[in-house]
Chain A
Amino acid sequence: MAFTTDEVLAGLAELITDETGISADEVALEKSFTDDLDIDSISMMTIVVNAEEKFGVTIPDDEVKNLKTVGDAVTFITSNQA
């Protein structure tokens, strides 16, 4: 079953809140992981690994550096679902 953009955004917000304590309300498509949400590289990789399991996708290590914003991640996940 494919996840919608809203579902992926909500799911990512949940993972981000769990990892960092940032309120889910602050997680929006245009937010930068580093500049806006202040997420460090280890937390980013933790979120990536958890997102892979949650959404059943593979996010290659080389792709992670291209995921600048939450929107980038949502787009990648929605367009790479099995």
Chain B
Amino acid sequence: MSTSRIVVTGIGASSPIGGTAPESWSALLDGASGARTLPHEWVEKYSLPVTFAAEALVRPDTILERPVAKRLDPASQFALVAAMEAWADAGSPEVESERLGVDFATGIGGVWTLLDAWDTLREKGPRRVMPMTVPMLMPNAAAGNLSLHFGARAFARTVASACASSTESIVNAVEHLRAGLADVVIAGGTESAIHPITMASFASMQALSKRNDDPAHASRPGSIDRDGFVMGEGAAALILETEEHARARGAKIYAAVVGGGVTADSYHITANDPEGHGAARAVTLALAMAGASPDDVTHINAHATSTPVGDPNEYQALKMIFGDRIDDIPVSATKASTGHLLGGTGALEAIFTILAIRDRQAPPTINLTTQDPEVPFRISGAPQDLGAGDQLAISNSFGFGGHNAVAAFTNI
């Protein structure tokens, strides 16, 4: 096991508020919202109770060549677009194929491909079901296609832990790099699941905001009148490498990933443990790997999906670790702007956390009107100054299944 630090040398994102990572960051700082009324005929056709979501701003099939795009589910298209941006941003590292790995996640996989093929089967019979259906819908399709595109032969691994997926991927990438299994890893996650089935299901479990008349103000983590999350879409990718490798090639370094923690609640398949023990243990593990104490933490990108129950649970979990100091740490709940990208959300928020460290400002949490006294995080509608000192920031992600994942970043 190497003790080398793992550093971030490239970032890429296709999100509801920007077609690239820098565009997404800039829009976030400007207080943008990616939530919009869905223009699709299926919203009315199925009388969906929720009529809006945060679709990605730029469709990936407008960027990829058609023969490439048509072999990929939209989830894999987003993954490829984000990874291409991150790879170029990292200076297209020269690395042996056998030393380049992929840790890329999804929460749901190729739901559009699966259900389109089901429609085709029912309407036209089995002969019209395309041969690429299974390789497009499989949850490892994004990781496999990234391996193919970038010539990554060390490994191509997929974790699926719902909304914790891509934070867990980043933690896994750190562990794989520290274990010496690769010199460079393309890490991240993707989701393209704004589909009538998922919208109906999440609405049915009362998880989605029903603010149909005002989508831009629907995702409001920490506000007393929050009523659920907003479905998002897109992907985010990070190029991670050992510090030696990055230094040797003179790479630009954004930040170090100094810690990661992954735990499970074993409490309920969808609800968080109300006492937050699993989430708190994930923070503790991340800080332990970082060799840091809770007092060192300068910024938190909270999971904070804007559900009535989830936000206070996270607050309680963090209070267990940070005590009263939790009320003084600048927190950002960026799903207020982006919606919830499910399997893509952790990697997008990791990028926001890294850029917060770089720019020394915690991004705003929009739509905060009256703050819920049960969620008294230090969140603000304006960017918060992080100060000139050393930064240690954590990004939290929690998922159905009782998955908790936390990644910790420092400036370098």
Contacts and interface: CB of A to CB of B under 8 A. Distances in A.
Contacts, number: 23
Decide if the interface of chain A is mainly helix, strand, loop or mixed: helix
Interface in A34-50: 42, 45-46, 49
B128 A19 contact: no
B195 interface: no
B100 to A, nearest CB: 24
Contact of B131 (A20, A42, A52, A53): A42
Contacts of A46: 130-132
A21 B67 contact: yes
B65 A21 contact: yes
Contacts of B65: 21
B202 to A, nearest CB: 33
A52 B128 CA distance: 9
A75 B94 CA distance: 49
Interface residues of A, number: 10
B268 interface: no
A19 B128 CA distance: 15
B67 A20 contact: yes
Contacts of B130: 46, 49
A18 interface: yes
Contacts of B128: 49, 53
A10 B64 CA distance: 25
A19 B67 contact: yes
B70 interface: yes
Interface in B38-75: 65-68, 70
Going nearest first, the 3 A-B pairs with the smallest beta carbon separation are A21-B67, A45-B131, A42-B131
23 contacts: A18-B66, A18-B67, A18-B70, A19-B67, A19-B70, A20-B67, A21-B65, A21-B66, A21-B67, A21-B68, A42-B131, A42-B132, A42-B135, A45-B131, A46-B130, A46-B131, A46-B132, A49-B127, A49-B128, A49-B130, A49-B131, A52-B127, A53-B128
